[in-house]
């Protein structure tokens, strides 16, 4: 079910699942976000709606509707 920008997610895994289901995982972020990885604390730049830390493989996701809000980026898990 597609709820547009009103969809609510409990965690990053749900976000990543929705991105994959809708085909948005590879969409480019409107503005790349430099962030500190929650898995290993390395800094990396999130370039796409679904991206991963090069160091530890922690996968992150953000929906296109919330891609301009860095606080909406959620971790899904290592190698998710």
Which residues span the domain enclosing 18?
9-78
In total, how many domains does the chain have? Answer: 1
Q: Once rounded to an integer, what is the mean pLDDT over residues 71-78? A: 97
Contacts 24+ apart (CB under 8 A), 24-31: 24/49, 24/50, 24/63, 24/64, 25/49, 25/50, 25/61, 26/50, 27/64, 29/62, 29/67, 30/67, 30/68, 31/68
pLDDT at 1: 40
**Is residue 55, in this structure, part of any structural domain at all?**
yes
**Is residue 4, in this structure, part of any structural domain at all?**
no
Q: How far apart are CA 27 and CA 16, in angstroms?
A: 12
Position 4 confidence tier, pLDDT thresholds 50, 70, 90: low
Residue 2 has pLDDT above 60, yes or no: no
Each residue of 11-70: pLDDT tens digit? 999 999 999 999 999 999 999 999 999 999 999 999 999 999 999 999 999 999 999 999
pLDDT at 7: 74
Q: Kindly report the pTM of this predicted structure.
A: 0.92
- Which DSSP category does 55 fall into? T
């Amino acid at each position: 079910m597609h709820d547009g920008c009103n969809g609510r997610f409990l965690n990053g895994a749900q976000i990543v699942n929705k991105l994959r289901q809708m085909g948005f995982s590879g969409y480019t972020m409107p503005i790349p976000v430099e962030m500190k990885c929650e898995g290993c604390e390395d800094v990396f730049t999130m370039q796409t709606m679904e991206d991963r830390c090069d160091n530890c493989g922690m996968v992150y996701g953000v929906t296109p509707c919330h891609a301009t809000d860095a606080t909406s980026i959620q971790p899904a898990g290592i190698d998710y």
